[in-house]
Structure 1
């Protein structure tokens, strides 16, 4: 009996995870097409100045689905490190811990800020109408955190990252991305300071010893051991749909084809819809053409010192500072080598072909230096 053949487009965590589970459970033969020469996609890692660094800042949250977490722990073993979160954010010219701690909000910031947070909390006990029932990023966060924290942190930061007003963002982003999703949760954080009440996973994250890309590499290795095939350097050019699906891809300058019973895609819809033949309906093509993607430029600075600061990441919500985050990868995995070097990764959200995207390396370095001068980070 011929086994089902599934072609998976893209060797990021999603594509590799699917491939691994399919061959692990004996459900299909699997071929993964990946245009790069390595796995991981944006969640991959690479070596720079003797250190493994990621494309930006990545962590594995303890709230990850228990089954997925168990699989990753089995794959990585002791290489999956349990680390405390130790970042900081600049608010109103003062540094406070990030993730936000209630005691910092009340004691380290100006009295007016603490009073605003307290007033927002008090309003929770006043009956009020829920508006028109339509949730947005703004409404979800203001309802959960109050206007003070939203005004000074979450809304400015969201605008910098996404490039649009918070009112234009989906409520899904608010529900998924904000860990301290309500003042009630923040009260629980206060109580967690009391011995015996603190969750073992509070303020912690998991991180692979060799960089976040080690997760994808471990999954890829296991999938290949079980029979999955990964074709690197393979760019999809055409997908012909029929009783069998035929995929034409370019590899080493030559066009090759494979047939599959099913195609599972993790590549951008803007690329997928253009590759399909017979062509997708006109409305699908038009809809996919309206999808825009937010870009990001990453700047890596190699410093000739063992450690820059004790913090893993620094966050900048202020509009006048182009950086949104500055991380020190060495602090994520407690790396001791190399002894006299460390790396900083600066993140600059942008749009393709804007001034940041088209800036030279020298101009980008100056943007980072300007940000550091304005924020006097290393104090």
Structure 2
């Protein structure tokens, strides 16, 4: 059962009342994710606003009310209002003039149904009056939301032809909100999966990681492979890797480890550093993400022997990835801080060892024993140092 939007805390933000007064309640509607999630009782962070006003009119009206604006997407009619309780994206009503599957040429519109018709899914085309919070629903989005059904507005194939990324958005939204599959959407996504090849790697990576960040994306990932969608964007993900993804998700839950999309992407790849490197380059991942994929691909059966020693070597994230991917226990790392090795070269020189390579080797030997013994206190480090120096004395 959907909730009364008036119970959603975001609707009582002071900044939204100021914005409504500035632009006029008759000119704006809250739209999209905030309305959808508010009806579901899901926490809302970002609020989007649709308006009949042109961008210049929005900027002028906000200026008169003392509200600072930023032209974040002015070419597409979007202005961001900077409010005390969070920014709000304000977008002039639009209609598509031309689309090529990657980008759209738009024109400004004046009525709400026309703007709603260009959106992707019925559950994302719900508009709320800023004062009464009455919902305008032009495509039965409320019924779909209540039923847990993600359905394209109008013809699914046409919607996908306008923007190929909607295939991946469908799977993400279906994973998050869907309780039942929409046959038309499923068939359209499978039929047009090849069109994903024309999208930028960055857009694909962003959607794939967003999907993998959801609580349990495994059934969707498995379905995407079965329907021929996943091989287009991630051909490396074969059945053994998809099975490993399910194991990793279960282990995260059991061990109290926060879900992580990069770790889950690692599960979908064979444990081969060269494959990790190729995928990271193809998806244009960040340097940090690339590094994690490569470290995860280097996992070995011995990783589980000493999780904290592994974390000291690789960092918490790297060790957690390797442990979960290898079937180990990472629970002991989640509230643990990696200690800093306190011994410095100067302390070794002060004990009579000549500065140079011998100091470095001694430092390394003491550190290795310190890690192996579970990071003992300073007194034990001093003992270890004494023993190592004794080995150097004829």
User: Given the two structures, how large is their TM-score scaled by the length of structure 1?
Assistant: 0.24
More helix by share: 2
Structure with bigger strand share is 1
Relative to the length of structure 2, the TM-score reads: 0.24
Q: Which has the larger radius of gyration?
A: 2
